[in-house]
Chain A
């Protein structure tokens, strides 16, 4: 195909789109519902990076994108732009989470107990060949599942707060910065930092966190608590001031990580306290949530590594932006290349 035939761009695109359907032909058996039930971690990743909580649409996007995560994220983000924003929700406290899983690496035992939940953590990663023989089946709901009580419990850091050894973040009740309608400025408000990292591409954020742990940075924290489950989302009730109504629940993973920091005092020696890094992401994305808490903590330290540079971390992790800018190199550049040739040939 001539890239920019004098005529033919239009026909070429049409053929390319046709070919896309032909090369990646669907046998029509993969239903959106199947993606939703069988690939929940994948839909979670897509929702997390899209910054849009809509499991069915995430599954639909994955089907449409033939399994390409970046394409699915792309579809959701683009769709999101067409929606009118009617209201902002009230702040939701993950303390009120309906818990599916909750662990602390900081203590052997915690009030409310360690709840391992569903996790690959202690699975032996052996390829299970019996799955290739598996035929369709109905998901069974046991009586125990139906009657089990919901689990709620306080946070682990409450223990440490009671001890007075946890550095308290400054109380901040300013309206959160909305990164979807405003451009980041630096230094970024903390709400902007957390939003940006929550939408960040998982691999990028994990790379940032990994580098901070390995030595390009200074943070190797203890996971005080990792919890995942459902949090109710409330909005102000339009007809009654002061009232709120619940519009549904979102599945999130929240992490609090702790590491010691020096605090200057008027006395001879600095005081050492525990400070926190915070991560909270849509869906079951545990590595990303932990990475976010490390990156958050790392950005609170000073130094010259990438993980300590707020602008670096916050401007290079957006799935759409990195995918878009890298792939734009496939667009024709012959006018500017001609200009380069002019400079080189002279």
Chain B
């Protein structure tokens, strides 16, 4: 624990945390709408997950159990660093088991095991504005959202189709929330996008540098932008499986054998992979 004489529980002062919780309530009330908030500076790099961390710090209590992942991994340097920080200023229990956690903070992934209704997934967001790819000015994108004027976005997707025969957006695929707001789901792979729809858990998104908070409450309709005749596609891992636990149909990390140069794969979700191996799953 960091010294409690100089620092409050969960680092931020109570008024700041309350302010952030109010923004969260508004975000939950208007799914997919980006709520501006007075983003505070943290001891962790702005652009390194400070939006997510501020949410976590604002909602966390002493009884919570926290899991932090980056790229799906519990042991990634960034995940470790964030865990270390939250743990140092709260003393809460840390887990790698996604089913045991009450709050999961993540960067770029949603865990493989579907989350339950009492769980909160906090996503770190670099660019909250989905329309940024078509319009650099905030004053204009705000208006576009207000008016539901999303044609430049559709046009971009269509131009992609004409030029490349497919929509080129890889991760961070824009979604339409409850048929109202286009939302940036944060840079999760397309594989994770469908998990946002009609989920049991609460998704909270925090962009610290851009000072925005947004949310997807449970059982919200969240659809990737797609044309009637061109279905949305997720990443293709057909025929590939995890070399540790044998899992198929999950998001895989691609690795290269140093000696043979051969490619092999392993689960991006390390907690899931470990759990499977505990249960005796082998390749």
Interface residue ranges, A against B (CB under 8 Å): 3-10, 12-13, 74-75, 77-78, 80-85, 178, 180-187, 311, 315, 320-321, 323-328, 331-336, 338-343, 346
**Is the Cβ of A84 less than 8 Å from the Cβ of B13?**
yes
A340 to B171, CA, bound (A): 7
Interchain Cβ contacts within 8 Å, total number: 160
Instruction: Determine the residue in chain B with the shortest Cβ distance to A314.
Output: B138
Q: List 21 A-B contacts (CB under 8 A).
A: A4-B71, A9-B79, A13-B84, A74-B45, A77-B41, A78-B41, A82-B11, A85-B15, A186-B139, A320-B41, A324-B50, A325-B126, A327-B47, A332-B73, A335-B108, A335-B189, A335-B253, A336-B170, A338-B251, A338-B254, A339-B171
A82/B75 in contact, CB under 8 A:
no
User: Is the Cβ of B189 less than 8 Å from the Cβ of A82?
Assistant: no
Q: Which of B6, B73, B172 contacts A82 (CB 8 A)?
A: B6
| Residues in B135-149 with C-beta less than 8 Å from chain A | 136-139, 142
Pick from B19, B75, B268: contact of A7, CB below 8 A: B75
**Chain B residues near A185 (CB-CB < 8 A):** 36, 138-139, 142
Question: Can you name the residue of chain A whose Cβ is closest to the Cβ of B236?
Answer: A342
Interface set of B (CB-CB < 8 Å, partner A): 6-8, 11-13, 15-16, 19, 36-43, 45-48, 50, 70-73, 75-81, 84, 107-109, 126, 136-139, 142, 166, 168-172, 187-191, 209, 211-212, 235-236, 251-254, 268, 270
Q: Is the CB of A81 within 8 A of B170?
A: no
Describe B's contact surface by its main secondary structure. Answer: loop
A sample of 6 more A-B contacts (CB under 8 A), given A74-B41, A82-B7, is: A7-B75, A82-B12, A185-B139, A325-B209, A334-B71, A338-B252
Query: A183-B211, A342-B235, A343-B170 are contacts. A10–B6 as well, Cβ < 8 Å?
Result: no
User: Whole-angstrom distance from the CB of B112 to the nearest CB of chain A?
Assistant: 13
**Which residues of A have CB within 8 Å of B212?**
183
Instruction: For the complex, give the distance between the alpha carbons of A110 and B189 in Å.
Output: 65
Instruction: Pick the residue among A85, A180, A332 that contacts B71 (CB under 8 A).
Output: A332
**Separation in Å of the A157 CB from the closest CB of chain B?**
32
Residues of A within 8 A of B235 (CB): 338-339, 342
Is the Cβ of A335 less than 8 Å from the Cβ of B48?
Answer: no
B232 to A: closest C-beta gap in Å: 13
Chain A residues closer than 8 Å to B188, beta-carbon distance: 335
